[in-house]
Amino acid sequence: MGRDLPMYVGSRGEREPTLAPWEGSAPHGRRRPQRGDAGMSEIAIGIDLGTSNSCVAVMRNGEVEVLTNAYGEATTASVVAFREDGGINVGNAAKANIIHLPDRTVHSSKRLIGRYFFSEEVKKAQAICSYRIVEAENHGLRIQIDEEKFSLPEIAAMILSEMKSIAEARIGQPVTKAVITVPAYFNDNQRQATKDAGRIAGLEVLRILNEPTAAALSYGFGRGLSQRVAIWDLGGGTFDISVLEIGDDVFEVLSTAGDTFLGGEDFDDRLIDLLADEFSARTGVNLRNDRYALEKLKVAAEGAKKGLSLENEVEIRIPDVITTANGESHSIERSLTSIEYAALVNDLIQSTFKVCDEALQQAGVVARDLDGIILVGGPTRLPLVRDTVREYFQQEPREGIDPDRVVAMGAAIHAASLVSSDQEAYLLDVTPLSLRIGIVGDLAECVIERNTPVPIEQTRTFTTFKDGQESVEIKVFQGESQEARDNELLGQFSFSEFEKGARGEVQIDVTFEIDTDGIVSVTATDRATGRAASTRITLSSGLSENELDAIIDESRTDRVEPTTRVDENNRVIGAIPLKSVPADTPVVFEETRASKARLVGDDDLIEESELLPLDEAPTIPDAVPAAAAPADGPMGAGGESTRSISEPSRLDRSAKAAQIGSDDPEEIEAFSGNFSQNVIDPAAIGAEDEGDDLDLIDVDEDDDLDLLGGDEEEELGGPILELGRDAELADTEPVIANDQLFESPGTDLSELDDDNEEPR
């Protein structure tokens, strides 16, 4: 990656260092970190915190290195296992627990971070995950293990903490700074929660970076390119597409679009369904009712996907997938061809192209304008995915880019850039979702459109509706719908720090800002007094500053036992926590990601030695796996070893929450019963306006009368007006928002309301 950068245009060289008290020990100027003096230079790592796997990298001396764990693996499973003795394990060893101790093994937590308890995603996870997801204050959620409840940022912090340990072992010095990547389509709630996770893990999060942008940086850094590229990123749980223009050292995101409900695990679900249906047709036994069988199916499905990345046909063998009540043992044996698989998942792949159409259109380009297509994410190893993408973009995707590592590498490049005094790349990113403010009629008016570059700030001025009004309520949303309820509520706050006055006299400036992390903040200021109340827009279910401090103080993250550390001779060693699995279950690990992964019957695997029993593990460079294995650790107790389910634990299986329903009537009953109490209309949050918490009028709106605020205007005596720059109050009566024309009880709006399109 070494290269000569053209000097950027600009005047940094002219800065007078004496006037700038640069923070830390890195004075401004051209002083590069001393090469080969890693102990002295400031280190910052890049972490790709994935749904199913995470990866950490660092850039030193101009070279980007992916930091492997003690077992030589570039990626570490994003799985957290809670042992009965209180210890916590993260990674592939933890993943092996899913089968044995599903209720203590948290996987796919990225799908839950920054979500409300009532969200679809949480519903799905509750239906299929064995660990307990419970509701917390303000529609938040926690994961409950025994009596302990963990917030999602805390779970993510445990994964980050493991990645940090890997980095520290490999780099040989403490690491406190990181760039963490998120899907480009993550909303503010999810970004904020991820940033909180970094803090809990003891990391200063230099930047929340979009995954596709990181991939583009890794691709284009230091190459002096002038190209337009698309990053097609299909991860475990999310799909993102970003279109970028790379102009030398500037990486400008032209547009981004995505789907946070589409990922490789949806592919797995299709195959699980097929296998379960076939099995049910053949035997009359529904495997979906048996968690262990289901886990085996998931392992097999993920293995098949990986196998089909390399072969045209794979053999699926699941011996003893289930033993029925009468003691009969059933197996699954079936071959699966690429063509059959394509038929299963083709519509999923096709659905990404609708998102691509949108991104290209927003970027103002067509496919043939693109100079390159970069594929990111494990599923892009499937030839069928590559073929379909090639067909859509009418060009060959770029070769030679590791789809599992490229994001962490880009994050590492950016991290290095942020701690160095040399700025070698400029990332000009965009906000993926429109920022909106709640107005009358449960509508949400756009303040900052999606694909607007960040950082950005917009101010609106509002006034009160009633004489002597005490406070105003401000609700902030993200999303593309004019209907408030179809957007994500980022937060709401009540502002009362203003000089009370007659209606229309008070002027309150509300400033919306999106920073370079894509994180939103909102400030309200009284023009008369200059008094301000600002808020980090906090997910109602998110962590408050106090809660965050409490979590950091409690430091449960310290219970994570790093698998990768340095021994007294400064050698990196691995310590697979064997006590966490039954003694007769071989603990294994995948040697390298690229090793031939054929499928899936356990015998095959062992014979092909892609996965090695620990005690047979060869010496891996820089790795000395711990050998001893306590025979009966607390997590191993419980007799699982008799269940013939050892094979999945030998596989590098996906830990993602498959989106499949359960057929178990009891479970469905319990689930829906559980849920009905908790389903909350997002639009109804904060509908409990109290007393004088009235709505605001925007003072500098054009003379249409948008009514901002709560849902109960009628009872509260009517909403307040948003007043135009050129507004004449007299002309604006009666107070009816445009969109509310003809709205009256019992009126069918659908005939009349076809004019509700968002102006583009």
| Residues at the site binding other proteins, with contacts judged by CB under 8 A | 8-12, 14-16, 19-24, 26, 28, 207, 245, 247, 249-250, 252, 417-418, 421, 423, 426-428, 434, 446-449, 452-458, 460, 513, 515-516, 702-704, 731, 733-734, 736, 738, 741-744, 746-747, 751-752, 754-755, 759-760
Whether the Cβ atoms of residue 470 and residue 496 lie closer than 8 Å to each other: yes
**Catalytic residue list contains 124:** no
The two structure tokens encoding residue 631: 């025979």
From residue 385, how far is each of 6, 161, 473, 518 by CA, in Å? 37, 33, 48, 30
- Tell me whether residue 517 or residue 610 sits nearer to other proteins (CB atom): 517
Q: Which C-beta is closer to other proteins: that of 3 or that of 571?
A: 3
Cβ distance to other proteins smaller for residue 250 or 401: 250
Smallest gap from residue 504 Cβ to other proteins (A): 19
Q: Which residues of 11-47 are buried (b: 16+ CB within 10 A; e: fewer)?
A: eeeeeeeeeeeeeeeeebeeeebeeeeeeebebbbbb
**Among this protein's residues, is 123 annotated catalytic?**
no
From the CB of 521, what's the least distance to other proteins, in Å? 12
Which of 260, 298, 144, 219 lies closest to 654, judged by CA?
Answer: 298
Residue 532 bridge partners (DSSP): 525
Tell me whether the omega of the peptide bond preceding residue 734 falls within 30 degrees of 0, making it cis. Answer: yes
Closer CB to other proteins, 28 or 390, in the complex: 28
Structure tokens that stand for 575 in this block = 């310590």
Q: Distance between CA 224 and CA 10 in Å, rounded?
A: 17
Write out the two tokens for 92: 């592939």
Q: Which is nearer to other proteins, 486 or 704 (CB)?
A: 704
SS3 138: helix
Q: How far is the CB of 135 from other proteins (least distance, A)?
A: 35
Residue of 377, 417, 403, 398 lying closest to 46 (CA atoms): 417
Return the SS3 of 153: helix
Number of C-beta neighbours around residue 532 at 10 A: 14
Nearer to other proteins, 136 or 250 (CB): 250
Would you call 211 a catalytic residue per the annotation? yes
Cβ closest to other proteins, residue 144 vs residue 458: 458
Residue 286, Ramachandran bin (φ over 0: left; ψ between -120 and 50: alpha; else beta): beta
Residue number, 217 or 348, with CB nearest to other proteins: 217
Which residue, chain included where needed, has tokens 């109290």? 690
Helical segments of 221-290, H only: 264-283
Q: What are the phi and psi torsion angles at 721 (to 5°)?
A: -95, 150
**End-to-end CA, the chain:** 41
CA distances from 585 to 105, 302, 422, 446, 640 (A): 17, 20, 51, 56, 10
Among residues 268 and 513, whose Cβ is nearest to other proteins? 513
Report the distance separating Cα 739 and Cα 504, nearest Å: 22
Active site residue: 110, 124, 164, 305, which one? 110
Rounded CA separation 318/647 (Å): 9
Q: Of the listed 162, 196, 211, 295, which one is catalytic?
A: 211
Q: Whole-number minimum distance, CB 196 to other proteins, in Å?
A: 21
In whole angstroms, how close is the CB of 752 to other proteins at the nearest point? 4
| Catalytic option among 48, 154, 647, 722 | 48
CA Rg, the chain, in Å?
A: 27
Q: Which of 63, 150, 68 is nearest to 109 (CA)?
A: 150
Query: CA-based angle 14:15:18, to the nearest 5?
Result: 135
Of 93, 116, 120, 277, nearest to 657 (Cα)? 120
Q: Is 233 considered catalytic here?
A: yes
* Least distance (Å) between residue 94 CB and other proteins: 35
Q: How far is the CB of 751 from other proteins (least distance, A)?
A: 5
Token couple for 532 = 């301000």
Q: How far apart are CA 366 and CA 228, in angstroms?
A: 11
Contact 508, 526 (CB under 8 A): yes
Catalytic residue (choose from 121, 135, 196, 233):
233
Taking the least distance from each CB to other proteins, the nearer of 15 and 596 is 15
Tell me the catalytic residues.
48, 110, 211, 233
